[in-house]
Amino acid sequence: MPEAVLTEVTDGVAVITINRPEARNAVNGDVARGIATAVDEFDARKDVQVLILTGAGGTFSAGMDLKGFLSGDSPNFADRGFGGIVQRPPVKPVIAAVEGYALAGGFELVLSCDLVVASETAKFGLPEVRRSLVAGAGGLLRLPKRIPYYLAMEIALTGEHFPAARLQQAGLVNQLVPAGGALAAARDLAARIALGGPLALTATKRVIVESADWNSAEAFQRQGEIITPVFTSADAREGALAFAEKRQPQWRGE
């Protein structure tokens, strides 16, 4: 039986692929476990700086496996939550490469990522209400923070499918590419990100994510606690030396 999640690493970029195309990459226990295991591994590896999450067979993910749900197969994994990622996303930057459908839990996986590359034919939606379910894997929490309130309400309450072009206009999609090109474009974006120092990348992501809950009085203090170790790292010195010597830096993640 094929593995539910496939992984590969090239030039500091890890690709995590949901591999259930026969089920439109619906998320079951095996998928959640596979993604969580991959995220744990890649967050710990010094040779990985950026992650890409995608789906096999021209579909990102149709969401929770409803047959699995009925049989008691949980699509959640420990403290990482649905799909092994939505409750505790990776520490490192992660890009969603979306082809075809990203619906329900599939859309919630996308919303757990930091950047989104989508094909022109991709469609997004939260159809849970039409099954008398609720988008409880972060969809209702994250979507209104990513796009305008009234559009978020329309998506969540109608359960309809929305084209990638409309979500790009709303600011949710970073790049819109021809059908079949999402993963290649995500790799290109990841390669540009991977030029940065790994400690700086994770600290930058952490400040942006966590600062949403900081008040103005504490913001610079909280930021300082996160970024000071980066400024005193060996990589920070290497970055300055590489600039002075007009060469590419050799990052060690230290």
Residues that are catalytic = 108, 128
Residue indicated by tokens 């067979």: 57
Report CA dihedral (87, 105, 72, 22) to the nearest 10 degrees.
Answer: -130
- The Cα 45–Cα 220 span in angstroms is 29
Q: Are 5 and 52 in contact (CB under 8 A)?
A: no
- Closest by CA position to 200, among listed 228, 167, 160, 176: 228
H/E segment holding residue 164 = helix 164-169
Taking each helix axis from N to C end, the angle separating 234-244 and 219-231, rounded to the nearest 10 degrees, works out to 70
Q: Are strands 94-98 and 50-55 parallel, antiparallel or unpaired?
A: parallel
- The Cα 182–Cα 175 span in angstroms is 9
- The Cα 148–Cα 144 span in angstroms is 6
Q: Are strands 76-77 and 81-82 parallel, antiparallel or unpaired?
A: antiparallel
